[in-house]
Amino acid sequence: MVITIDGSAGSGKSTAARGLAARLGLPYLDTGAMYRALTAAAIQAGTSLDDQDALAEVTQSIPMAVTCETDATRITLAGEDVTDQLRTLEVSQAVSRIASVPAVRSRLIDMQREIGRQLGDLVTEGRDQGSVVFPEADVKFLIVADAEARARRRYEELCNEGRGNAGEGNEVEGVSFSEVLKNVQDRDAIDARQWAPLLASGVAVHVDTTGLSVEEVIDTLVTHVRRITHTAGA
C-alpha cells in the first residue's frame, strides 16, 4: 500500500506522516529531506544558488542513499550520514532554489519511484507525491492548516529568538507579523502549484489540522486509510 501525504509547510504533515507510518508499521519517506540533502551538498561545494547548471551538476554527481524507517528517513551523501544536518537555517533558506531546478527534481523523482518500487508499501511525504510521483497511490492526503495560525506560530518563534518586532508600538527592530504572514502565503502559492493536479483529480482527502492535536490528526488519517482500503477491497 502506498500512502501519499502532501501539504503546506508548518501544517504538521511531517509529524502526521511519521505518526501514521508508525501506527501502520510502514516505512516513511521524507522527500523534503532528499531536497535538503542535495542543498547541503551544494552549499558545501560552494555552488552559487543562481547557477542552475552548476547546481544540477553538483547535485547529479553526488551519490545519495536513502533508508526509510517507520519514524525517520536517513540520508547518506557519499557514504556520510547527513540526516541530522538538514534542518539548519542555511539549508532551509536555500532549499527552495534547489528544488526548483528541473534536473534536480527529475533525479529525485526517479529515486523516489525506485524506492517505492523496492519497498512496495510506504508512507511518503512531500509536495508532489500524490500528484506527480505516485499517481497510482492507494490513499492520498492533502494536509493544510490556517495560514494565520501558522504565521502566528512562526512569528512567536522569531520573537523568542529576538528576531521579531514583538508587537505594535514596540521600538525593537525586527520582522513584523504581516511580513511573516505574507511569506507563509507566498510559499503556499508556490507549493500549491505542485499539488494542483491532486486537487483537480478530486481523490485527495483534505485534512485541516488547525486546532487539532497530533493524536487527533493521526487518528483522522488512520480512519481514512481504513475506510478507503476497506472500500477498495470490498
- The residues binding ligand DC (CB under 6 A) are 9, 31-32, 35-36, 95-96, 99, 126-128
Type of residue found at 79: G
Which residue, judged by CB position, is nearest to ligand DC in the bound state? 32
Residues 6/144, Cβ–Cβ less than 8 Å = no
Residues 123/16, Cβ–Cβ less than 8 Å = no
If the CB atoms of residues 96 and 229 are measured against ligand DC, the closer one turns out to be 96
Report the C-alpha gap between 152 and 170 in whole angstroms.
Answer: 17
Type of residue found at 126: G
If the CB atoms of residues 102 and 233 are measured against ligand DC, the closer one turns out to be 102
Point out which residues pair with 125 in neighbouring strands.
5, 30
Cell of 30: 521524507
Phi-psi region of 103 (alpha: psi -120 to 50; beta: other; left: phi over 0): alpha
If the CB atoms of residues 14 and 165 are measured against ligand DC, the closer one turns out to be 14
CB of 170 to ligand DC, least distance (A): 30
CB of 148 to ligand DC, least distance (A): 20
CB of 108 to ligand DC, least distance (A): 8
If the CB atoms of residues 124 and 165 are measured against ligand DC, the closer one turns out to be 124
CB of 232 to ligand DC, least distance (A): 25
